[in-house]
Amino acid sequence: MALIQLVKIMEDGSVDGRLPDDELTLEVCQATSEIYKSNGYEEPWLSYLAMVDGNCVGTCGFRSPPEFGRIEISCQTFPEFEGRGVGTAMAKALVEIAMRQNHNIEIAAYTTPQMGASTRVLEKLGFQFVGLVGHQEEGEVWEWVYTRSYH
């Protein structure tokens, strides 16, 4: 996997001042713009397109700006790029962004309640499994937490 570059999805759903030209990326950017309306738009706590060699390979971001010293991240690798380390690279980049802003921030992530690619990514990056929790949007999920104190 080549180096991943995160590109900000702006408040209006544009990227680098223009709308994406492929349908999937355009849908992601438009949905992100709608989420910003309810969750806020504050840099660097944004959503990003993950780019490798000029290709959009996935999307990742922060659910909203931090609240009470805690932030939630999520990542989605586009199907044709799964199994290539994209999810790990995106999650690692988000952790680095969060830690640069606040070394004491707690970073949460949620997965379906089963072992899989997402859980392996989080374990690899040092997230600690918390347990089964109810999530306001996802239902019952596994919660994972990363804090500097774990490392």
Q: What is the CATH number of the domain that holds 36?
A: 3.40.630.30
Structural domain count, the chain: 1
Q: How far apart are CA 132 and CA 10, in angstroms?
A: 33
What sign results for the dihedral spanned by CA atoms 138, 140, 142, 147? Answer: positive
* Residue 33 domain boundaries: 5-150
C-alpha 126 chain-centroid distance: 16
pLDDT, tens digit (0-9, with 9 covering 90-100), for 19-75: 887 888 889 999 999 999 999 899 999 999 999 988 899 999 999 999 999 999 999
Residue 5 has pLDDT above 80, yes or no: yes
User: pTM for the complete prediction?
Assistant: 0.91
- The overall average pLDDT reported for the chain is 91
